Amino acid sequence: MEKKKTINQKAFEIGGKIINPGSTQTVSVALSMLPNHAAFDLDMRVIHGLKPGKRLFICATIHGDELNGIEIIRRVLASSLTKHIHGTLIAIPIVNLFGMLLHSRYLPDRRDLNRSFPGSEAGSSAAQLANTFLTEVVAKCTHGIDLHTGSNNRLNLPQIRCGFEHDETLRLALSFGAPVILKSKIREGSLREAAENLGIPTLTFEGGEALRFNEFAVRAGVAGILRVMSTLKMIPAGKCSAAKGSPVISPSSRWLRSPMTGVLRSACWLGDKVLKGDVIAKISDPLGTTTTDVVALFDGIVIGRTQNPLVYKGDALFNIAWVSDPTRAQATIEAFEEEEFEEDQFNLFTETPLP
Ligand SMILES: [Zn+2]
């Protein structure tokens, strides 16, 4: 009888460190320094499985004020499912440390890191950080997941953004099991563009808002990453909960802008359906003597909204994703949310690990 071939896992090198099979290490890649000469490193946790497999990076805080992904990554690392994996998981909770310290989306030179890829060794601080992240982390992986939130004062429904042209990216997007998959064009200079140019399928997850944790988005992010790892055969099939429904898939979205300056009030929440002609909010002056309706321009569901009631004419108010059947889409999203909160998967205080 022919013997089954055993493929041995090799040691993995990253940031000048050698990670042996079956071990986990924290790796720091020196990037720069703060003005007081304190080190500014790119810190990551590397789990290198005993058996070979895919190499997945998960990263957060590319926009320095988008903190939700830090908690998502902490919970993924705390899960018992990631203790013994096939392949390699590289988790980077804080990519843009400068921005995080300043509570800012940007780098101190006011550049957007997610418009600075692939970067260069001799460029601006954003270009240098992009270049190091791409060469030291992304280029060593087979797949990636980049975690984001809405920008300041904007709250996003948990959603995956990806192009639909690559089969592998779409397969991962479907397996992630977020309530919504939004087709989105690749932005020039984004991490997703740079990774895809290297042939590394990369998902962008959006959920929650800047400078806040959002429990629904955290749970959707953790469950989604574990499902993708299961699809990539990094963790055993059937160990993490499968998404019970099919996500709402939308080919495009558009921000509904404010028709007037004033104070916004609305009962329209994330996941709600809107129909063309619906009054979904009202804007008044503070004394209530003048009021203007905010009217939906097409059928869809709300996947993002402003959290700030003080609005100027032209401000983005509601991000509405086009869907063919808004009633069904709303029911699907409600079911997803109920499912995420069905059983208390993670107890924040006892640190009960995920399955
Ligand atoms: Zn972002």
Give me the residues paired with residue 1 across strands. none
State the distance from the centre of ligand 1 to the C-alpha of 61, rounded, in angstroms.
7
Question: What is the distance in A from the centroid of ligand 1 to the CA of 191?
Answer: 11
Domains along the chain?
12-243 (3.40.630.10), 253-342 (2.40.50.100)
pLDDT in the model for residue 79: 93
Centre of ligand 1 to C-alpha 10, Å, is: 35
- Give pLDDT, residue 245: 77
CA 243–ligand 1 middle distance (angstroms):
25
Centre of ligand 1 to C-alpha 96, Å, is 11
How does DSSP assign 221-242, residue by residue? Answer: HHHHHHHHHHHTTSS-TTSSPP
Q: What is the pLDDT of residue 238?
A: 81
Widest CA span in the chain: 88
Q: How far is the CA of 181 from the centre of ligand 1 (A)?
A: 16
Query: Scanning the structure block, which residue is given the tokens 């955290």?
Result: 218
Question: What's the pLDDT score for residue 135?
Answer: 97
pLDDT for the residue 300: 97
**Residue 163 class from Cβ within 10 Å (0-12 exposed, 13-18 middle, 19+ buried)?**
middle
pLDDT at residue 3, rounded to an integer: 56
3-state secondary structure of 121: coil
275 alpha carbon to ligand 1 midpoint, in Å? 28
What pLDDT sits at residue 153?
A: 93
> Which residue, 235, 251, 227, is CA-closest to 171?
227
pTM of the model: 0.94
How many A from CA of 151 to the centre of ligand 1?
Answer: 7
Query: 10-residue block means of pLDDT along the chain (355 residues)?
Result: 67 95 96 88 97 97 97 96 96 96 92 96 94 97 98 95 89 94 93 96 96 94 96 90 83 97 95 97 96 97 97 98 95 87 57 51
How many angstroms separate the alpha carbon of residue 89 from the centre of ligand 1?
Answer: 22
* Ligand 1 centroid distance, CA of 288 (Å): 36
Dist. CA 113 → ligand 1 center (Å): 9
